[in-house]
Structure 1
Amino acid sequence: MDVLRCRGLRKEFGGQAVLDSLDLTVAEHQVVALIGASGSGKSTLLRCVNLLEELHDGTIELDGEEISAPGVDPDKVRRRIGMVFQAYNLFPHLSVLDNVTLAPRRVHRRARVEAEAHARELLDRMGLGAKADAFPDRLSGGQQQRVAIVRALANSPRLLLLDEVTSALDPELVGEVLTMIRDLKADGLTMVLATHEMSFARDVADQVCFLDGGRVLEAGPPQQVLGQPTRPRTQQFLSRIIEAGRL
């Protein structure tokens, strides 16, 4: 079953297309990595899927239901989609446990005892159990980003969107976040991630999509797109990545 289907997506800013007739399909349990230069449309695509941006054209389906149709309640859709941003976006005045349980209690109306039990289980599993009562400013950047991912998981999302979740981290902290994402893949969670970590995309993704000019210019298994790209623009992009020592 396809969890996500995007057809003919078009999004403009200031009259300029950031997404231009973009198509994307994500099957259940699949991990899709979006790669491409800055400005290619990766983050905009994720924000459109989570209904944080309004489309100018095209359709988005989640489990066969069109979520981009007029009149759809975006808050109800977002209960089924988890999203983690480049910045951690944790509430500094709340403990880790309160950050993780806020949405389950306020949005999903779960009892505090139930929400906290589930949150502690997730935190323990992700190696953060000892940090449940800590505040975000007492955590490293890697720990804060992992808490942000746990917060997204607390709502048991059907689809998890990850937008350059390692870009704000020091290189030595990147590994712990990537390990966590590998564990989620092993669990069968369906994910779409925008990343500049080419080696990670090669190792963890089932499909890599190269975006250019707001379109998916080339898509396929990592070994094909990253190892033997067929489009000249993909080849040019990856050659620069290789020269920079990032692949």
Structure 2
Amino acid sequence: MSDAPVLRMESVRKTFGASVVLRDVDLEVAPHTVTALIGASGSGKSTLLRCANLLEEIDDGAIWLDSEEITDPRVDQDAVRRRIGVVFQAYNLFPHMTVLDNITLAPRRVHGASRAEAEERARELLERLGLGGKAAAYPDRLSGGQQQRVAIVRALAVRPRLLLLDEITAALDPELVGEVLEVVRGLKNEGMTMVLATHEMGFARDVADQVCFLDGGVVLERGTAEQVFGDPQQERTRRFLRRIVESGRL
């Protein structure tokens, strides 16, 4: 398989009115690696992920997915999104549909899978993520951790090339965070290419191959987890991590 980046961003700029949210962002995500985006709230992490999935239109720069420039206006954006899985912090499950129907909707409606094929894939993933007995349940009968795991299954059901995870533990009770992070750890071990925005610093340090510290819409520092957490070069990064350590989160 090619070693070309699965995702590449070059000089990406995004504004909302007069506010510059992303400022000349460069990013490369190699196949089968995990990139963690860290930084204070409002630093641009979630916007970066939304731009990567074309949910937000960039103002300048370019984004590539597997060597295809997906910000080219001639590109079919829906076709691009079919190759990217996204999990948000708010689950976004349809409350009137069972777990199984939530998971099989996109494979059937968007990817053209048969009901039998989609359900087989869904049940296999539910078993893998410890939810084998929940296929017929409705979302309001599940814990927050279970709902988030269903959201991950839904994203995986379409066999994405890239998985984007946006603060997926932010809405969970502390005791439920671990079960969701363990799923992500398992996906890393299986070779899934992922970019995750997270406030879980210990987890980012343990699983990320690349860590990017964002501040004011700029990737201020990047490197391996060992480099960024163990020997940060920028004073702003050191100050951010010092506060994390003092709060007991690292």
Pick the TM interval, shorter chain. over 0.9
Trace 1:1-247 onto structure 2 (pairs within 5 A): 1=3, 2-247=5-250
Deviations 1:164-206 (A, max 9, x none): 0000000000000000000000000000000000000011100
Question: 1:23, 1:215 within 8 Å by CA — same for their partners in 2?
Answer: no
- Do the aligned partners of 1:89 and 1:148 also contact (CA within 8 Å) in 2? yes
- TM-score normalised over the length of structure 1: 0.99
Unaligned runs of 5+ in 2: none
**Which secondary structure state, in structure 2, belongs to the residue aligned with residue 226 of structure 1?**
helix
TM-aligned CA deviation for residue 210 of structure 1: 0.2
**Letter matched to residue 115 of structure 1:** A
Whole-angstrom distance in 2 between the partners of 1:15 and 1:8: 18
- How many pairs were matched up? 247
Q: In structure 2, how many angstroms separate the alpha carbons of the residues matched to 1:87 and 1:71?
A: 32
Large movers: runs of 4+ above 6 Å: none
Separation in 1, partners of 2:128, 2:244: 34
2:72 and 2:44 map into 1 onto residues whose CA distance is: 21
Amino-acid identity (%): 72
Q: TM-score, normalised by structure 2?
A: 0.98
Q: Write the distance in 2 (CA, Å) between the matches of 1:13 and 1:219.
A: 25
Gaps of 5+ in 1: none
* 1:71 Cα deviation from its structure 2 partner: 2.2
**Match of 1:15, as an amino acid?**
A
Secondary structure of the structure 1 residue equivalent to 2:230:
coil
